[in-house]
């Protein structure tokens, strides 16, 4: 009883007590970069009580500290600054603590210090736990909103006004010129978060975090990024940078290799995003059909195939008339079409063609002779070359002979 009475005598008057704690809170706020003192809640009275009376905080009081941690996370304040606020408040309170610190009773000081440290430990742990829970909830909520937003942006048929409002928190200006790039892994990724995090880190570093979104859709990684072009018809070399940037980062990941990257052309406005996305998807499909060896393909480089397929009946008729005789060759049409494609890609040089398809020059010469004999078109004749080349491009665009030709009627 005597000890309790002595502790009571050490308490300052109520008004002085409130001013003292207010001064401590204000100083801690300054130390932590101006964080609102309201985030301290009743933490300082808990410390004072622990030092003067030895009272431990109740569960409800600690729960209130956890709620303040969640509030700090929702306000976007970093965890480090919130913890700094609490530690600075404890240090200042101990330095200015009346009576107990000035006591010559070593046991009293030791007991007070132990009680204060216990409150600090419990409070900071509860604060951090509340902060972490809130951050996880925010991340899940943001991920859901981001996935829904990018689905609507890529579909291109949503309400423009509503999309503008939803895009603003993600730093997207839908009036700007954007382009979409897609990354296809060679096998299903067990954890797409690692790939998204890796892409975000390098793209944000290079392009900034505004007007950039990284997400997943239909098993593909999707990157929406700004482009500086003022017209979709312009295509400076810088537009290839996004694809190279993505591939350089993704190939370092332990899973998913080899990656295939397709980049759509830049287009302005909301509907330009959907258009760039469709071009990137078409480029991925076409790259697979063409068996392109390059890891990064650009939609603008495959425009000839879109032109060919706009009149599908005509290209089907061309492929049928020019190339179907190749099916009579031993081994079918595919080896001869592969040879023709490499021959045209290398500028009609047989030695380079042989290197490209890993056969001898003699085999290339033999196959070219067979093509001329079966089709009546000579690949070395400039007057025949255009017809053969157009037919080969059409065959690849239609995925023939892997798939049957569509009905021409």
| CATH classification of the domain holding 380 | 1.10.10.2840
Whether residues 114 and 239 share a domain: the answer is no
Phi first, then psi: what are they for 226, rounded to 5°? -75, 155
Whether 159 is covered by a domain: the verdict is: no
The token pair that represents 223 in the structure block:
């990157």
Task: Give the pLDDT of residue 63.
Answer: 93
Task: Give the pLDDT of residue 70.
Answer: 92
The token pair that represents 331 in the structure block:
């081994």
Distance CA(250)–CA(227), nearest Å, equals: 21
Whether residues 261 and 367 share a domain: the answer is no
Residue 213: in which H helix or E strand, if any? strand 213-217
Distances (CA, A) of 170 to 70, 78, 141: 22, 19, 13
Whether residues 7 and 129 share a domain: the answer is yes
Distances (CA, A) of 383 to 366, 378, 380, 389: 21, 9, 9, 11
Whether residues 271 and 234 share a domain: the answer is yes
Whether 407 is covered by a domain: the verdict is: no
Q: Sign of dihedral through CA atoms 48, 49, 55, 57? A: negative
The alpha carbon torsion through 238, 240, 242, 245 (nearest 10 deg) reads -100
Task: Give the pLDDT of residue 5.
Answer: 42
How far is C-alpha 245 from the chain's CA centre?
13
Whether 106 is covered by a domain: the verdict is: yes
What's the domain range around 357?
311-397
Whether residues 42 and 91 share a domain: the answer is yes
Q: Sign of dihedral through CA atoms 182, 187, 188, 192? A: negative
Whether residues 264 and 377 share a domain: the answer is no
The token pair that represents 287 in the structure block:
């790259």
Whether residues 34 and 107 share a domain: the answer is yes
Burial of 275 (0-12, 13-18, 19+ CB in 10 A): buried
Residue 216: in which H helix or E strand, if any? strand 213-217
Distance CA(174)–CA(171), nearest Å, equals: 10
Of the residues 136, 166, 190, the one at which a domain ends: 136
Whether residues 110 and 129 share a domain: the answer is yes
Whether residues 13 and 111 share a domain: the answer is yes
Of the residues 83, 118, 136, the one at which a domain ends: 136
Whether residues 277 and 340 share a domain: the answer is no
Query: DSSP label at 267?
Result: E
Distance CA(70)–CA(79), nearest Å, equals: 10
Whether 283 is covered by a domain: the verdict is: yes
Counting the structural domains of the chain, the total is 3
Whether residues 272 and 322 share a domain: the answer is no
Of the residues 136, 154, 187, the one at which a domain ends: 136
Whether residues 12 and 128 share a domain: the answer is yes
Task: Give the pLDDT of residue 95.
Answer: 84
Q: Do 127 and 65 meet the contact criterion of CB atoms below 8 Å apart?
A: yes
Whether 343 is covered by a domain: the verdict is: yes
Task: Give the pLDDT of residue 99.
Answer: 52
At 297 the three-state DSSP class reads: strand
**Mean pLDDT of each 10-residue bin along the chain, 409 residues long:** 41 58 91 92 90 87 93 90 93 75 67 88 92 82 82 81 82 88 84 82 81 87 77 48 90 83 92 93 88 89 80 90 94 94 92 94 95 94 91 91 82
Phi first, then psi: what are they for 32, rounded to 5°? -95, 15
Whether 162 is covered by a domain: the verdict is: no
Task: Tell the residue number behind the tokens 């009743």, with chain if given.
Answer: 42
Distance CA(174)–CA(271), nearest Å, equals: 9
Task: Give the pLDDT of residue 233.
Answer: 46
Whether 165 is covered by a domain: the verdict is: no
Residue 269 maps to which CATH number?
3.30.70.270
Whether 295 is covered by a domain: the verdict is: yes
């Amino acid at each position: 009883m005597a000890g309790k009475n002595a502790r009571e005598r050490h308490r300052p008057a109520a008004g002085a007590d409130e001013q003292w704690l207010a001064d401590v809170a204000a100083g801690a706020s300054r130390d932590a970069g101006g964080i609102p003192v309201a985030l301290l809640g009743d933490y300082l009275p808990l410390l004072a009580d622990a030092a003067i009376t030895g009272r431990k905080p109740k569960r409800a009081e600690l729960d209130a500290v956890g709620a303040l941690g969640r509030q700090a996370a929702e306000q976007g304040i970093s965890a480090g600054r919130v913890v700094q606020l609490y530690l600075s408040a404890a240090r200042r309170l101990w330095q200015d603590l009346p009576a107990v610190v000035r006591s010559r009773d070593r046991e009293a000081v030791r007991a007070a210090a132990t009680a204060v440290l216990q409150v600090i430990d419990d409070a900071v742990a509860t604060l951090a736990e509340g902060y972490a829970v809130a951050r996880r909830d925010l991340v899940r909520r943001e991920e859901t909103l981001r996935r829904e937003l990018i689905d609507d942006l890529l579909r291109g048929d949503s309400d423009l006004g509503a999309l503008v409002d939803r895009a603003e928190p993600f730093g997207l200006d839908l009036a700007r010129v954007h382009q979409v790039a897609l990354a296809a892994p060679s096998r299903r990724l067990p954890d797409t978060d690692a790939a998204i995090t890796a892409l975000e880190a390098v793209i944000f570093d290079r392009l900034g975090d505004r007007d950039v979104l990284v997400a997943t859709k239909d098993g593909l990684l999707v990157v929406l990024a700004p482009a500086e072009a003022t017209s979709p018809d312009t295509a400076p070399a810088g537009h290839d940078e996004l694809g190279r940037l993505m591939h350089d980062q993704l190939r370092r990941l332990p899973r998913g290799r080899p990656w295939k990257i397709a980049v759509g052309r830049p287009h302005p406005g909301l509907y330009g995003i959907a258009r760039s996305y469709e071009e990137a998807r078409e480029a991925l499909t076409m790259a697979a059909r063409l068996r392109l060896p390059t890891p990064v393909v650009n939609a603008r480089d495959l425009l000839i195939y879109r032109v060919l397929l706009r009149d599908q009946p005509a290209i089907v008729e061309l492929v049928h008339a020019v190339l179907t005789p190749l099916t009579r060759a031993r081994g079918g049409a595919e080896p001869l079409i592969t040879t023709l494609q490499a021959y045209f890609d290398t500028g009609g040089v047989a030695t380079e063609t042989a290197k490209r398809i890993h056969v001898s020059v003699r085999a290339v010469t033999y196959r070219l002779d067979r093509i001329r004999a079966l089709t009546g078109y000579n690949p070395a004749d400039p007057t025949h070359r255009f017809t053969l080349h157009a037919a080969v491009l059409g065959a690849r665009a239609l995925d023939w002979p892997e798939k049957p030709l569509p009905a021409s009627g």
